[in-house]
Chains A and B, each alone.
Chain A
Amino acid sequence: MKKRISIVCLMSIISASILLTHRNAIAEVVIIVNKSVSIDTMSQSTISNIYFGNMTKWPDGKTIHVVMLKGGKTHETYVKKILVSTPSRLISYWKKVVFTGIGIRPKIFKNEQDLVSYVSNTKGTIGYIDDSVLDESVKVVTIIQ
């Protein structure tokens, strides 16, 4: 009896782990842009260049407006996996921009829905969200290798 209870407990733990792992796997960060942006695909290095100020104009010459999340899982995943950097380096870069006067800090949102709403209403804007909050008001950019 004791052995059976142990097996059931073990199975429960394994099942819970699998479920959690699966949930993490389907939670995916997506890159979104305002519908005025003509681009549909972007390389990872292009996205990184945009967020670290090395690319400031879209191919049609219009200015790129960057928006960011204040923190949280989506932000950390985005910075580490897509930008291949760290949140502290990203914030340092934008502080450098602000204190040397060479640019204006991006809009920073605490809430992903607010970010989506801003991107959908502001031309030339790029941002990132968890795909669970994605709606049709913005365009998703596919990352190519």
Chain B
Amino acid sequence: MFQKISLFIIFLFLFTLPAYSNELSNVEIHGFASTGYIISDKYNYLANSKDGTFEFNEAGINFSSSLAEDIQVGMQLYSYDLGDIGNNTIKLDWAFIDYYWKQLLGFRLGKFKTPLALYNEILDYDMLYTQTILPQSIYNKYYRESIKSTQGINLYGKLNMGVTGILDYNLYTGSENIDTDGGVAKLFSYKNSVFKGANAKNLFGGRLKWNVFMKDLVFAASYFQTDFKYEIDTSGVKTVIEYPKTVMKVLSAEYTRGNFKSSFEYQMTSGNLISTTDMTNIGMPIINKTENEYDNDMYYGQVSYRFCKCFEGGVYYSVFNAERIDSSVEYPEYADWQKDLAVSFRLDINELWLLKFEIHHVKGIAQILTDLQPEDCKGENWTSFACKTTFNF
């Protein structure tokens, strides 16, 4: 009930505030709300899309203020719905105090957006990119909650290197709670099992961004490491799955010139998982322990062009390659990859309101296997269509 009332208040804020951001005394207020539709022909992609679904929305509102010349505080509330996950539960997205001491060194303390790859910090904000759905090989919406923000400390700064450009760095450490009703829970739940909770306690990483020749060309390298542990319950059988060390490394490049923009990113994810099954609850005091290593690689390339003040188009090609961990189940070969060719259109009705359309032609099903059984695989090629409208102020 509280969540519904809170959600109602957020929407009320968004649609009753004047067209521009508000400044109540010294507090800045900004927000956004979006709603969309996804439909696909063979598989449920991201949401229950085979029959078409409107369960594809998000909203957020933030408040920020300067306490002193170099000190700033702020927070953002965020809610989303994507099929079975999110369900418009309002969560604290970020809240931190920021002290920008010198150009070379600043500190953020609290919950902040995790600086990772080129677009991790903005993946919830439609108005900041051309696509309706960012390339899922790297910006998987189901992993969002495990990488979107970090509770801890962030050191950052910029080094001016003269004619060679600007070096922008971020270092952070902390932890992150994983929701039991979020994307990770959905990914790691199987039929007849209940996701009992998870956390990432020792998380750290960094990103180095080199802005070459003003802002036209950006190279970035990101490192993210975390431990991760979760528990599922299947009819009284408790299974604890630990990822003692999961490492993500991302190399990125972005080129912007006038109305043209292109980017390319390559990510490697590796680690090992230890699965411990405890059957003492069902009278079989056997603890079965298995250990596996995994190694996935993924990449995408995209180009976009703004044809006029209100219309932008783009294309991306995104590839996800998964290493099969459980070889006991015989999935078709195309379950090991997902290659997504997407064509996107964006129409800015005005500075505050936009519409987006996108069509995907996909080969492979590596990222939609959650509830699929081998007999449910209906072929390698499939398509989906997504559209979205977003209001922000």
Evaluate contact between B121 and A103: CB separation under 8 angstroms: no
**Are A99 and B158 also in contact (CB < 8 A) when A88-B306, A88-B309, A105-B21 are?**
no
Encoded as 1 (CB less than 8 Å from any A CB) or 0, chain B from 105 to 139 comes to 00000001100000001101101100000000000
In the complex, the chain B residue whose C-beta lies closest to that of A52 is B215
B92 CB to nearest A CB, Å: 12
Q: A100-B121, A101-B64 are in contact. Are A91 and B214 (CB under 8 A)?
A: no
Given contacts A49-B166, A54-B166, A86-B259, whether A102 and B98 have CB atoms under 8 Å apart is: yes
* Chain A residues numbered 85-121 whose CB sits less than 8 Å from any CB in chain B: 85-86, 88-89, 91-92, 95-96, 98-105
Which of A45, A49, A62, A99 has its CB near the most chain B CB atoms (within 10 A)? A99
Chain A residues, CB < 8 A from B113: 100-102
Closest Cβ of chain B to A36, distance in Å, is: 13
Contacts of A49 in B (CB 8 A): 160, 166, 214-215
What's the Cα separation between A101 and B28 when bound, in Å? Answer: 11
The answer to the question of A57 belonging to the interface, with a C-beta cut-off of 8 Å to chain B, is: yes
Chain A residues with CB below 8 A from B306, complex form: 86, 88
A14 CB–B CB distance under 8 Å: no
Contact with B along A118-138 (1 / 0, CB 8 A): 000000000000000000000
> Is there an interface contact between A55 and B160, defined as CB atoms closer than 8 Å?
yes
Q: Which residue on chain A has the smallest CB distance to residue B95?
A: A101
Task: State whether the Cβ of A56 lies closer than 8 Å to any Cβ in chain B.
Answer: yes
Answer whether residue B94 sits at the interface, using C-beta atoms and an 8 A cutoff: yes
The answer to whether residues A85 and B30 also contact, given A99-B60, A101-B94, A101-B96 and a CB cut-off of 8 A, is no
Q: Counting CB contacts under 8 A, is A84 at the interface?
A: yes
Closest to B166 in A: A54
Residues of A within 8 A of B (CB): 45, 48-49, 52, 54-57, 61-63, 84-86, 88-89, 91-92, 95-96, 98-105
Q: List 29 A-B contacts (CB under 8 A).
A: A54-B158, A54-B166, A54-B215, A55-B158, A55-B160, A55-B166, A63-B69, A84-B214, A86-B259, A88-B306, A89-B256, A91-B351, A92-B127, A92-B128, A96-B121, A98-B62, A98-B64, A99-B60, A99-B125, A99-B128, A100-B121, A101-B62, A101-B74, A101-B75, A101-B94, A101-B96, A101-B112, A102-B113, A105-B30
Q: Give 10 closest A-B pairs by Cβ, nearest first.
A: A54-B166, A57-B103, A101-B74, A100-B121, A100-B113, A45-B214, A98-B30, A99-B125, A63-B69, A101-B94
